[in-house]
């Protein structure tokens, strides 16, 4: 059995991760940790867990004493909050899967510019694997530190990767219009995400400044073999969970819509969690699952291609992908513990 520890187990992503790992046949969770709810049962924080997860959350300051009890440490904390703990865990041979943004960007200067925090473990960036399994499986399997991708980047990169890899679009023309449910903002009290502030309304935010922009650009640049700069605009929509990313690019060559579908199906034919769909994706059709739905449309009038993807931001965009990465790290079946059927109700 793999012994796991979870830090940040009472946030939305941490909660989802706690549920998935508690039901994983190859995992035993040695401890759950929470800053705001230390010494409380998980079931007292989330009433739906009564009778299922009655574990008491330990304080984050007590985690160091328990590191030798685990094989893998999951971090579901805000960026910049766990540098010292990561350093300690790596020093005693523990594998780490970090759901924050601390190890996604290879250049610490980019991290400090976009996140406004000094990177205290810049030396680890070269060894961190970007945890998008469909594109980086081999690197993940050989790493001790996995940077779980952001939710917007997961949806956007998977939607655009086949076009970039096959030199189908002009890389200077990429525009991403993405929309997220309110859970993407986390569980902390925040006026813009209060019910009365976001219900019955849709709003753009972080225009030309969202922190996921350099993450998307970095990964697409790797695929293209050249530096890519793109426009990314996220929107908040009044649903609890889900991301829909609509990605645009100008075609460099003549290609039919059928050929585009053949291209995508060829790229993802062996990927269990990617569905190439003829109908346009909807967030409700991936809700509660680790699946990414992708559809493609060619606009003959403007000579553009539009790729649309949908994911559950808390699962494929966070906790489910973290479990997928753990399965790869430990040589398990990649789908173990995360083969949930989407729940549309």
Local mean pLDDT, 10-residue blocks, the chain (345 residues): 96 96 97 92 94 93 92 96 94 97 97 96 96 97 97 98 98 98 79 82 94 98 97 96 98 96 98 98 98 98 98 98 98 97 88
**Which residue segment(s) compose the domain that 70 sits in?**
2-148+318-329
> 3-class DSSP state for residue 219?
helix
> Is residue 244 in some structural domain?
yes
Q: Percentages helix, strand, coil for the chain, rounded to the nearest 5?
A: 35, 20, 45
Let me know: does 56 contact 93? Beta carbons within 8 Å: no
The total of structural domains in the chain comes to: 2
* Same-domain status, 130 and 164: no
pLDDT at residue 338 in the model: 98
pLDDT at residue 35 in the model: 86
Please, which residues bridge with residue 232 across strands? 176
Buried b (16+ CB within 10 A) or exposed e, 288-319: bbbbbbbbbebeeeeebbbbbbbbbbbbbbbb
Q: Strand 2-7's sheet: what is its strand order?
A: 27-33, 2-7, 72-75, 95-98, 145-147, 129-130
Let me know: does 307 contact 163? Beta carbons within 8 Å: yes
Q: Checking DSSP bridges between strand 27-33 and strand 292-299, what pairing results, if any?
A: unpaired
Q: Is 299 left (phi over 0), alpha (psi -120 to 50) or beta?
A: beta
> Is residue 341 in some structural domain?
no
* Same-domain status, 14 and 130: yes
pLDDT at residue 152 in the model: 98
CA 329/CA 249 separation, integer angstroms: 34
* Same-domain status, 108 and 172: no
pLDDT at residue 140 in the model: 98
CA 317/CA 122 separation, integer angstroms: 24
* Same-domain status, 224 and 261: yes
pLDDT at residue 61 in the model: 86
Question: For position 239, which CATH number holds?
Answer: 3.30.360.10
CA 127/CA 129 separation, integer angstroms: 6
Active site residues: 151
Report pTM: 0.96
Let me know: does 57 contact 34? Beta carbons within 8 Å: yes
**Residue 250 burial by Cβ neighbours in a 10 Å radius (0-12, 13-18, 19+):** middle
* Same-domain status, 41 and 181: no
* Same-domain status, 137 and 233: no
CA 87/CA 265 separation, integer angstroms: 41
């Amino acid at each position: 059995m793999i012994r796991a520890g979870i830090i940040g187990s009472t946030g939305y992503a941490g909660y989802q991760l706690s549920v998935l790992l508690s039901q994983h046949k190859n995992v035993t969770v040695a401890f759950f940790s929470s800053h705001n709810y230390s010494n409380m049962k998980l079931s007292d924080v989330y009433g739906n867990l009564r009778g299922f997860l009655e574990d008491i959350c330990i304080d984050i300051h007590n985690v160091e004493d328990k590191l030798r009890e685990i094989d893998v440490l999951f971090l579901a904390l805000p960026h910049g909050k766990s540098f010292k703990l990561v350093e300690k865990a790596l020093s005693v041979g523990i594998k780490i899967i970090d759901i924050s943004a601390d190890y996604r960007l290879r250049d610490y200067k980019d991290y400090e510019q976009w996140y406004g925090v000094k990177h205290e473990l810049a030396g680890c960036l070269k060894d961190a694997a970007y945890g998008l399994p469909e594109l980086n499986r081999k690197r993940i399997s050989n790493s001790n530190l996995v940077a779980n991708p952001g939710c917007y980047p997961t949806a956007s990169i998977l939607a655009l990767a086949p076009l970039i890899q096959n030199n189908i679009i002009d890389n200077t023309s990429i525009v991403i219009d993405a929309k997220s449910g309110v859970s993407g903002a986390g569980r902390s009290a925040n006026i813009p995400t209060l019910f009365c502030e976001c219900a019955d309304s849709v709003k753009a935010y972080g225009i030309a400044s969202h922190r996921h922009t350099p993450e998307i650009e970095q990964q697409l640049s790797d695929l293209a073999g050249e530096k890519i700069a793109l426009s990314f605009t996220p929107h908040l929509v009044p649903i609890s969970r889900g991301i829909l990313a609509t990605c645009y690019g100008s075609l460099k060559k003549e290609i039919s819509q059928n050929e585009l579908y053949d291209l995508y199906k060829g790229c993802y034919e062996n990927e269990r969690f990617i569905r190439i769909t003829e109908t346009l994706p909807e967030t409700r059709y991936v809700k509660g699952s680790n699946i990414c739905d992708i559809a493609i449309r060619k606009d003959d009038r403007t000579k553009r291609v539009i790729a649309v993807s949908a994911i559950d931001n808390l699962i494929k965009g966070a906790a489910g992908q973290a479990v997928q990465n753990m399965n790869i790290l430990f040589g398990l079946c990649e789908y173990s513990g995360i083969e949930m059927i989407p729940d549309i109700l």
